[in-house]
Amino acid sequence: KKKVILDCDPGHDDAVAILLAGIAKEIELLGVIAVAGNSYLRNTVRNALILTEMANINVPVFKGSEKPLLRKQIVAPDIHGESGLEGANLPEPTKKVENKNYLEFLAENIYSNPNEITLVAVGPLTNIAKFALNYPDLVPLVKELVIMGGGIEFGNVTPRAEFNIYADPEAAQIIFNAGFNLTVFPLDVTHKAKIYINEIKEMQEFSSEIVSKMGILLEFFHQTYYDVFKIKGAPLHDPCTIAYLINPEIFEYEEYFAQVETKGELTYGETVVDYWHFNKPNSKWALNVNREEFIKILFENLKKYE
Ligand code: BDR
Ligand code: CA
C-alpha cells in the first residue's frame, strides 16, 4: 500500500479525490490537510471534516494556510459555490480539526518513513511550498509529490493560467525548483478525465449516503462548468492524481522542465513547459488518459462505500 498524505481545498473534485483515496485498497491515507483555494480556509477545513466524517474515513484533518505566500487571495465561487462545496446540504461536522501544526505532521511522517510517503496536492501549493522552505532536508525523503495544476495548452482562470497555480504562483515556482520527485496532472489531461451527466446520475443511485450525495454535488459542478466554459461533462481534475496512484498505466506521460511565470502581465501563473527539452526535465507530466478505465476505477471504488 502507498502511504499518502492529501493536501486539498475541497472543492467538488477534491471531494471525489478524498473519497477515492479513503477507500482504494492500494492506498493508506495518513491524513488530509486543507488549504485555502476554491474557498476560504474555514470552508475547506469544514468540507474536509464533513466528507471524511460522512465517509467514515478515519484520518486526521489539519488546518493549512489561510492565504497565498505573496499574492492577493482568490477563490472560485463561480465553479464551487460560496461554501466551496455547494449543491447538496451537507450537515455541520462533529469531527474536529487537529490542533497539531500541519508542517509538524508532514515533517514527522516523512522523517520516520523515508522514501515511503507520497504527497498529493490538489489545491494551491502554499502548504507544500512552506514545507519545502522549512524542511529542505526532508524534500528528498518524500517518495513522490503528485500535483494537479497547470496547463500546457490552456489555462482556466486566465487564457494561460490554471487555478491552483494562479492562486499561488510563487508557491508553485518554489515547488518546481525544490527537488521533489514531481508528477503533474495539468488541465491537458484532466479535461480528458471528464464525467458525463449520465454517469453522475448513476452515481446518485449508489447505495451509500455520502456517494449518492457526491453525485448530487457533481451535478452542481457539471452545471457550473457548462455555465462558465460551455462544455459538457465535468473534468474530474483532482481524482486523476489518486487514480494514478491506483493504476499509473491508464495515463500517458512526458518528462519536461517546467517553471512558473511570476512576473508576466498576460502570463502570470502560467506553467511554462520546455516542450523541446532544452533543459533537463524536473517533472513528469501526464498528458493523456484512458477515460473509460478512469471512470471504471472510480466507480469500482466508490461502490465499496456502504
Ligand atoms: C483545480 O482548481 C480547482 O477549482 C479544482 O478543485 C482543481 O484542483 C482545477 O483547475
Ligand atoms: Ca482542488
* Known active-site residue 237: yes
**Taking residues 166-195, what's their average pLDDT?**
99
Please report the pLDDT score of residue 109 as a whole number: 98
Please report the pLDDT score of residue 98 as a whole number: 98
Give the DSSP letter of residue 73.
Answer: P
Peptide bond just before 11 cis, omega within 30 deg: yes
- Write the CB contacts of 29 (distance below 8 Å, at least 6 apart in sequence): 4, 5, 6, 21, 22, 57, 59
Please report the pLDDT score of residue 148 as a whole number: 99
Strand 271-273 relative to strand 251-256: parallel, antiparallel, unpaired?
unpaired
Whether the predicted interface score ipTM is above 0.95: yes
The predicted model scores a pTM of 0.98
Please report the pLDDT score of residue 22 as a whole number: 98
**Taking residues 34-52, what's their average pLDDT?**
98
Given the residues 12, 191, 237, 277, select the one marked as catalytic.
237
- Write the CB contacts of 183 (distance below 8 Å, at least 6 apart in sequence): 144, 145, 146, 147, 244, 253, 283, 284, 285, 286
CB 44 within 8 A of CB 8: yes
CB 273 within 8 A of CB 256: yes
Instruction: Give the residues across from 270 on adjacent strands.
Output: none
Instruction: Give the residues across from 273 on adjacent strands.
Output: 258
CA 283 to chain centre: 17
**Taking residues 245-270, what's their average pLDDT?**
98
> Is the CB of 162 inside a 6 Å radius of any atom of ligand 1?
yes
Nearest one of 116, 165, 147, 304 to 241, comparing CA atoms: 147
Identify the band that residue 186 occupies on the pLDDT scale cut at 50, 70 and 90.
very high
> Is the CB of 237 inside a 6 Å radius of any atom of ligand 1?
yes
